[in-house]
Structure 1
Amino acid sequence: MGKIICFISDDFADFEITLALHKIRNVGKKEVLTVAYSDESIVSESGLTYKPNLIFREAMELSDIEGLIIPGGPIRIQRQALTDFINKLDQEGKMLAAICNGPQYLGRAGILHKRKFTTSCSIESINQLNVEDPFPRENYVDKRVVREGHVLTAKGRAFVDFSFEIFDYLGIYSNRDEKRELYRDIMDR
Structure 2
Amino acid sequence: MRKILCFVYESMADFEITLTCHMLGWNPDKEFISIGYEKTPIRASSNLQYIPEMTVKEAISLDDVDALIIPGGFERTCTPELIELIQKMHKEKKLICAICAAPEFLAKSGVLDNHLYTTTLGEDYYKENELKDPFPRQNYSERKVVRHENIITAKGRSFIDFGIEILDYFNMFDDDSEKSMLSKSYKGE
TM-score, normalised via structure 1 length: 0.94
Q: Distance in 2 between matches of 1:49 and 1:186?
A: 25
User: Secondary structure of 1:39's partner?
Assistant: coil
Q: In the alignment, residue 186 of structure 1 is paired with which amino acid?
A: Y
Equivalent pair of 1:75/1:101 in contact (CA under 8 Å): no
The answer to whether 1:28 aligns with 2:14 is no
Partner in structure 2 of residue 123 of structure 1: 123
Q: Equivalent residues in 2 for 1:30-69 (5 A)?
A: 30-69=30-69
Of 148-157 and 167-176, more deviation after overlay is shown by 167-176
8 Å contact 1:75–1:104 — kept in the other structure?
Answer: no
Q: Is the 8 A contact 1:107 1:135 kept in 2?
A: yes
SS at match of 2:85: helix
User: What does the per-residue CA deviation read over 1:58-108, in whole Å, with 9 as the maximum and x for residues that have no partner?
Assistant: 111211100100111115331000000000000000001100000000000
C-alpha contact 2:168 2:179 (8 A) present in aligned 1: no
Distance in 2 between residues matched to 1:90 and 1:123, nearest whole Å: 25
**Corresponding residue for 2:113?**
113
| Residue 177 of structure 1: how far off its partner (Å) | 5.4
Q: Give CA deviations for 1:89-145 in whole Å, capped at 9, x if unaligned.
A: 000000011000000000000001111110000111111221111211111111001
Cα 1:138–1:159 change in 2 (3 A) is: same
Which is further off, 101-110 or 171-180? 171-180
Q: Distance in 1 between matches of 2:36 and 2:75?
A: 16
Rounded to whole Å, the distance in 2 between the matches of 1:165 and 1:100 is 15
- The superposition leaves residues 19-52 of structure 1 with CA deviations (integer Å, 9 ceiling, x where unpaired) of 1101111x11211111111111010011000000
Deviation at 1:176, TM superposition (A): 5.3
Which residue of the partner structure matches residue 183 of structure 2? 183
**Aligned pairs, how many?**
188
1:7 corresponds in structure 2 to 7
Please give the alpha-carbon distance, in whole angstroms, between the structure 2 residues aligned to 1:156 and 1:82: 21
Matched, 1:94 2:71: no
Q: Whole-Å Cα distance in 2 between the matches of residues 97 and 42 of structure 1?
A: 21
Which secondary structure does the structure 2 equivalent of 1:17 belong to?
Answer: helix
For the pair 1:83 / 2:83, whether they are aligned, the reply is: yes
TM-score (norm 2): 0.94
Letter in 2 for 1:28: N
* Structure 1 gap ranges (5+): none
Deviation at 1:161, TM superposition (A): 0.5
Unaligned segments of structure 2, at least 5 residues = none
8 Å CA contact retained: 1:119, 1:154 = yes
